[in-house]
Structure 1
C-alpha cells in the first residue's frame, strides 16, 4: 500500500467516486453505508448507465481517475459484456448496471433498510 493509498479515507474515496459517476452521467446513483454491516467494505455505490457502452465507459473512467488521483488500483469484473460491472476499490464497492439488469437483481434492496429502496 502506498502512502497516497493509506492517507486516503474511505469517505474521500467515496466522494471522488460519486463525483466521477456524476461527471459521466451515471443515473440513479445510490450510496449505501456498509460500516458495521459487512466486512466487504465501508460503502457500496449502485448506479446505472443507459447502454452497455456507457456502463463500460463509466467503469473505465472511474478506474483511471482513482489510479491517477489516489494511486489506487481496483479489481474490475464484468466489463467485457457491459451489463453489470463490479469495481472493488477495497473500501468502496461500485456496481454499474444497465437499467434492466439492475431491476432484475435489485441489489440495493438487500442492503438498504426496509422501505428505503
Structure 2
C-alpha cells in the first residue's frame, strides 16, 4: 500500500463510492482524514485500517449512529478503550445471534433443496 492514498483509492479499496465516504465523513461516522497542501484528503495506512474496521462494523449491522459514537471515542482519546470495548462486546453478541439465526435459516433452505431435489429425482424416474 502506498504511503498515502486519495479518497478515490480508499473508496475503491473499501468497495464504496467516494461520495459515500464523504457522506460518512460529514455525518461523523468516519473521521476526517488530514489534507495535503492542495486541500485534498490524504489517507495514511492507519486511517485506512480504522475505516476498514468501521466498515466491518457497518457490514455486520451496527447502526451508523453507534459507529459515529465509536469514531468520536477514538477521536476523544485514542488510548481510552473501555467504552469502545463495551460497544464491541455488545455488537459481537449481536453478530453471534445473527449468525445463529442465519445458520438456522440456511439449514431450512438446505433441507428444502434436498426435498425438492428428491422430488425431482422421484418424478423423473417414473
Please tell me the TM-score bracket, short chain as reference. Answer: under 0.3
**Which TM-score applies when normalising by structure 1?**
0.23
- Give the number of the structure whose alpha-carbon radius of gyration is greater: 2
Instruction: Indicate the structure with greater helix content.
Output: 2
Higher relative contact order (CA 8 A, sep 6+): 1
